[in-house]
Copies of this chain bind each other. A is one copy, B any other.
């Protein structure tokens, strides 16, 4: 590595990995995924591409790792005592993320992953997007007696966030108005969860 030999030691192992990841995060933040190049990351980290490729198989994998450093799921679930309020809050969180600069990075990474499930699975940990939080919120509504237990089904619990994803990934809208959020919750999600269990006769 360049620099004053008397001062600079070679970084090895985890220290170098952190430096690379940090550089990638900075490049991703400043230039988006399109602007993220292996050359620039290596240069910024003060290393060379060999060290990067020794750790991440390709550019996409590095991009995904950097994105995950940037984004963390919100640790606090809404718990208002009312399912509609919880659902709206969760969906608004997801929407804020999709509509943000991070959302654009997310879309680019989804594209770059070439539909690889292992990679895509790593891209949905952002606020309001995890299947698990939707199950939790719906589970609480069941516990409150607000919804019948039969409504607690993974596909039912996640229908709202699936519809929101549809807006961004399939329709390519750069942002989704709050009216659509309210519509998804009031026209689809709530009718579905509230009426399941009432009767399911054919």
Contacts and interface: CB of A to CB of B under 8 A. Distances in A.
A155 B187 contact: yes
A111 interface: yes
Contact of A188 (B121, B155, B166, B170): B155
A153 B180 CA distance: 13
Interface of A is mostly: helix
A176 interface: no
A47 interface: no
A7 to B, nearest CB: 44
Task: Count copies of this chain in the complex.
Answer: 2
A115 interface: yes
Interface in A157-202: 159, 162-163, 165-166, 168-174, 183-184, 187-188, 191-192, 194-196, 198, 200, 202
Nearest to A159: B188
B124 A188 contact: no
Contacts of A124: 170
Contact of A156 (B108, B116, B173, B187): B187
Contacts of A166: 162, 165-166
B200 A115 contact: no
A107 interface: yes
A13 interface: no
A16 interface: no
Contacts of A142: none
A57 interface: no
Nearest 4 pairs between A and B by C-beta?
A: A195-B195, A111-B111, A115-B172, A120-B172
15 contacts: A84-B202, A104-B115, A110-B111, A111-B115, A115-B172, A117-B171, A117-B172, A155-B183, A155-B184, A159-B159, A159-B188, A162-B162, A165-B169, A191-B195, A192-B192
